[in-house]
Amino acid sequence: MATTPPDLDAIIAAVIEELRVEAAEVRSAGGPAPAAAPPATAPAAPATAATPASAEPEVAHPQQQGPAAPPATAAEVATRSTPTPPAATPEPGAPNPAGGAAPPRTVAEASGRFTGEFGIDLPDPTDPERRRALQVADPYDAEGLANLASTTTARLGVGRSGPRPKTSSLLLFQADHGVALDAIHGSVDPDLLTRFELFSVTTRVADREEYLLRPDLGRRLSDEAKRDLQERCVKGAQVQIVVGDGLSAAAIDNNLEKILPVIEQGLTSAGIRLGTPFFVENARVGLMNDINDIVDAEVVILLIGERPGLGIADALSAYMGYRPTAGKTDADRDLLCMITEHGGTNPLEAGAYVVEFAKRMLQHQASGQQLRRLTAADD
């Protein structure tokens, strides 16, 4: 019996129409599809598009030059170069001036990538409230689960759909992974370096791929860098500050503006002589040795991007060492890690801590394990 060929155009049109209706329903419901909805007890996902005042620095600093408000969500970290629309036109999800809850931001809106008519719009899975929402449908001990989840940023209580993860969990994981990749492969904003008058040098690494494959080359200055440091840097300072991209450009972009002035002013107001700060592209921690073989400072502070995690991709570390030189190892260094406004140590506070730690190193003329031994009695 002859069969009639299917009318593909009609089928595609029907599927598109169905998705359009589903997307409209999700939007009008103000949240994800029922399977991904947070439990009734969880707070509704708030609007985060405009990055609220809580993301502003707690202390206004005279050297700050009007930094943009830091991104509030992982998606915003990823799209930090996306221009912010004028204040007069609130973004979807921005606090509603009329007082009612605005519709949530969707992935499409957050990324600004879909400009066409058709797109499958789901709520932005990286919104902080949505990220933290417990999704176990019928927990045995709801309070216990909530308490447990509040102690960690690990992905607990994400529920499941049959044997599979929920769509929202999967999307969040993929979004976080994308943000981590962007942080690792991104470049530090050149305007930021210009504003702080940081000249740039490079390591022996040729490109970012080689940086990831050959950590040893990221611990050595290029010949040109050695010449530049020789010519441009003050020698024999008490403290040398160095900025390196490390494994997260976003860590420098989002934190340098706050932490660097605190460190510089804290040290200079204590009468400590500073070297000439500069930036190193494709830097690793061990580079401190090579640098100090040229600049010959007492203490070297390296502000460097940390390996991004799945959730926080803009954490900075301050690695510090007393008279680093060839042969010194991590046992001779100290560090303050997780400097970020997104769930770590605030960069202003961290700057103050780094200043105190540098003073301690200068006082005891030691760092790392040796400093521990010398100060064991004080602690």
Instruction: Compare residues 196 and 211 and give the one whose CB is closer to ligand B12.
Output: 211
182 is written with which tokens?
A: 């962007």
Looking up tokens 């050297």, which residue turns up?
Answer: 63
Residue choice 307, 323, 359, 364 for contact with ligand B12 (CB under 6 A): 307
Looking up tokens 């400009």, which residue turns up?
Answer: 115
- Torsion angles phi and psi, residue 305, rounded to 5: -70, 135
Instruction: Compare residues 42 and 337 and give the one whose CB is closer to ligand B12.
Output: 337
Q: For residue 158, which of 139, 180, 179, 184 has the smallest C-alpha distance?
A: 139
Q: Cα–Cα distance between 118 and 120 in angstroms, integer?
A: 7
Element (H, E) at 84: none
Residue choice 76, 228, 290, 306 for contact with ligand B12 (CB under 6 A): 306
252 binds ligand B12 (CB under 6 A): no
Contacting ligand B12 within 284-303 (CB under 6 A): 284-286
Residue choice 166, 204, 328, 333 for contact with ligand B12 (CB under 6 A): 333
AA letter at 185:
H
Residue choice 317, 340, 345, 367 for contact with ligand B12 (CB under 6 A): 317
Q: Residues with Cβ < 8 Å from 140, sequence gap 6 or more? A: none
How far is residue 62 from each of residues 66, 133, 259, 268, measured CA to CA in Å? 10, 39, 13, 15
Instruction: Compare residues 35 and 213 and give the one whose CB is closer to ligand B12.
Output: 213
Instruction: Compare residues 37 and 319 and give the one whose CB is closer to ligand B12.
Output: 319
Q: At what angle do helices 223-232 and 287-295 cross, to 10 degrees?
A: 40
What string marks each residue from 128 to 147 as x (binds ligand B12 by CB under 6 A) or -?
Answer: --------------------
Element (H, E) at 62: none
338 binds ligand B12 (CB under 6 A): yes
328 binds ligand B12 (CB under 6 A): no
46 is written with which tokens?
A: 């708030």
Residue choice 49, 304, 316, 348 for contact with ligand B12 (CB under 6 A): 304
Choices 120-128, 206-214, 227-235, 332-340; region in contact with ligand B12 by CB under 6 A: 332-340
Shortest separation between residue 187's beta carbon and ligand B12, angstroms: 15
177 is written with which tokens?
A: 């992974």
**Where does this chain bind ligand B12 (CB under 6 A)?**
215, 246-247, 284-286, 304, 306-307, 315, 317, 330-331, 333, 335, 337-338
